[in-house]
Amino acid sequence: MSADVPSAGATPAGGPLAGLAYEPGVKKPDPILIADGLRRSFGGLVAVDVDHVEFQRGCITALIGPNGAGKTTFFNLITGFDRPDAGGWEFDGKPVGKANPYRLARAGMVRTFQLTKSLTRLSVLENMKLGALDQRGESVFAGLIRPMWSQQEKEIEQKADALLERFKLGHMRSEFAGNLSGGQRKLLEMARALMADPKLIMLDEPMAGVNPALTQSLLGHVKDLRAEGRSVIFVEHDMDVVHDISDWVVVMAEGRVLAEGPPASIGANQDVIDAYLGTHHDLDLGAP
């Protein structure tokens, strides 16, 4: 493999990603997600056209790219909310045959949405409890008989309360989710996703609209997820955030994977700069 020479001053990737070539589609030592030949077009517009990309287990990978690059569409395909025209992918070592959002979620891949989907007429706490998997009371017959699920419900509630505290939403627990602010909804959605104990959590612009002070603590939570052994893929436009927490960055443009590498290598990549300059002349890519 011919590695691109990392630009001067760039910190090379550490941990399991050390020594990888900084090129699109590079093989990872222990990938949790592999996409192959994934293609989706809307009419004449090719929104996603990814030859090969792998995401390392136990790492935080940032997915960046200009507006309309196909990041959200890529998320939709991977999580089963949209169907590809061609191609397939593998999650946790198993090929995903019939992609079905709820099956993928149960298998450990939980996502959040760029446009938040808070369940407005449920309370914040109910939103959280809904996120837990394998609830006995979710079958219609067991649901009728409270003793069959009340114990589990109590445990779920404790877990939900702990997470709400962590996300500074504890005081809102009995409010309707519809009464939350935009940023609070982002927080709720992320906390709710964590109720499922996902192996891989896919966050679509989790920091958008969250105030800077809280962003810092959110970043802390995301790092905690990695410490717990979970994998994180997140879409983000703020390059400071990307630099701060990601182990690896995948850049998309016009549906394709344009570049890959540790955060520091991205800012100096001429292809990336060109792709961004098409739309954002003043974008600070954090180049050294």
Partner 1 sequence: MNWPLIISNTLFTAIGVQAIAFILAAIGVNMHFGYTGLLNFGQAAFAAIGAYTFAILAGTGIPWPGSGDGPGFFENPWPWWAAALAVLPMATFLALLLGVPTLRLRADYLAIVTIAAAEILRQALIAPKLDERFNTGGADGLQGFSSGIEGINPWNGQEFRLWKQPFDGHQAFVILVGWILIAVCSALVWLLMRSPWGRVLKSIREDEDAARSLGKNVFAYKMQSLVIGGIVGALGGMVFAIGGRAAAPNDYSTAFTFFAWTLLILGGAGRIKGPIVGGLIFWLIIGFTEVFLSQATRNALLPGWRVNENNFGLLRFMFVGLGLAALVVFRPQGIFGDRREQAFDVR
Ligand X SMILES: Nc1ncnc2c1ncn2[C@@H]1O[C@H](COP(=O)(O)OP(=O)(O)OP(=O)(O)O)[C@@H](O)[C@H]1O
Q: What's CA 275's distance to the chain center, in Å?
A: 22
Binds partner 1 (CB under 8 A): choice among 32, 196, 241, 250: 196
Beta carbons of 91 and 200 less than 8 angstroms apart: yes
> Which residue in 233, 286, 255 sits closest to 46, CA to CA?
255
Determine the size of the site formed for partner 1 (CB under 8 A).
40
Q: Which two tokens stand for residue 59?
A: 């790492």
Choose between 50 and 193: whose C-beta lies nearer to partner 1.
Answer: 193
Q: To the nearest whole angstrom, how small is the minimum distance from the Cβ of residue 125 to ligand X? A: 30
Beta-carbon-side half-sphere exposure of residue 106 (alpha carbons within 13 Å): 6
Q: What's CA 5's distance to the chain center, in Å?
A: 29
The distance in angstroms from the start CA to the end CA of the chain is: 27
214 belongs to the binding site for partner 1 (CB under 8 A): no
45 belongs to the binding site for ligand X (CB under 6 A): yes
Binds ligand X (CB under 6 A): choice among 20, 26, 38, 47: 47
Instruction: Kindly indicate which of the ranges 12-20, 52-60, 188-196, 216-224 contains the residues binding partner 1, using the contact rule CB under 8 A.
Output: 188-196
What residues numbered 55-74 form the site for ligand X, per CB under 6 A? 65, 67-73
Residues 6+ apart with CB under 8 A from 71: 63, 64, 65, 204, 235, 252
Choose between 25 and 68: whose C-beta lies nearer to ligand X.
Answer: 68
283 belongs to the binding site for ligand X (CB under 6 A): no
What residues numbered 155-184 form the site for partner 1, per CB under 8 A? 176, 178-179
If you search the block for the tokens 């999580």, which residue do you land on? 79
Choose between 121 and 281: whose C-beta lies nearer to partner 1.
Answer: 121
174 belongs to the binding site for ligand X (CB under 6 A): no
143 contact choice in partner 1, ligand X, Mg ion, none (CB below 5 to 8 Å, kind-dependent): partner 1
Choose between 70 and 262: whose C-beta lies nearer to ligand X.
Answer: 70
Q: Which two tokens stand for residue 199?
A: 């192996």
Report how far residue 1's alpha carbon sits from residue 69's, in angstroms, rounded to the nearest whole number: 27
Where do contacts with ligand X occur on this chain (CB under 6 A)?
A: 42, 45, 47, 65, 67-73, 114
